[in-house]
């Protein structure tokens, strides 16, 4: 290091790290709880963000995880579909973008019938129906590969 060079401060992010080129790891079609006859929504898990498609009609990636593939363990979890967050925000304003840093808690749970994923951020809490109760193990394996490395112990199983 030479005299006069800027020192990189640990934990500081550059603006282009927050928004820009990323890969979609996987996308899951869900239903939001608390909404009567709610349209299915799509959650896109990228390298640095979760993208919540609020209206379910703005699919920018044609690849969604099929329940049949998940059950048979044939699903390719890593879609590696390249996207640009800036372009998506401009083209699809209804897409909500959540950074993994904003997530306070992500909880996988189930009741007598269904398996749920509840995501609590600094500003809101959303609970999604993933599938029937019997698929909890499949989703647990999936989220252990996707969410746990990104958010650590903030991913909980109930």
Distances (CA, A) of 116 to 141, 143, 157: 14, 12, 10
CATH of 20-157, one of 3.40.50.970, 3.40.470.10, 2.30.29.30, 2.40.30.110: 2.30.29.30
Read off the pLDDT of residues 95-121 as tens digits, 9 standing for 90 and up.
889 999 999 999 999 888 888 999 999
Low-confidence ranges of the chain (pLDDT < 50): 1-18, 66, 73-76
- CA dist 47 and 152 (Å) reads 15
């Amino acid at each position: 290091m030479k005299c006069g060079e800027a020192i990189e401060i640990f934990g500081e992010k550059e603006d282009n790290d927050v928004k820009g080129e990323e890969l979609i790891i996987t996308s899951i079609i869900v239903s939001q709880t608390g909404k009567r006859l709610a349209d299915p929504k799509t959650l896109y898990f990228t390298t640095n963000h979760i993208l919540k498609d609020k209206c379910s009609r703005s699919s920018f990636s044609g690849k969604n995880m099929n329940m049949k593939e998940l059950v048979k363990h044939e699903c390719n979890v890593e879609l590696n579909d390249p996207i640009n967050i800036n372009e998506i925000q401009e083209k699809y304003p209804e897409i909500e973008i959540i950074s993994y840093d904003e997530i306070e808690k992500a909880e996988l749970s189930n009741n007598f019938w269904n398996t749920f994923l509840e995501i609590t951020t600094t500003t809101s809490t959303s609970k999604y129906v993933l599938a029937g109760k019997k698929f909890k193990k499949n989703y647990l394996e999936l989220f252990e590969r996707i969410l746990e490395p990104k958010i650590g112990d903030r991913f909980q199983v109930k």
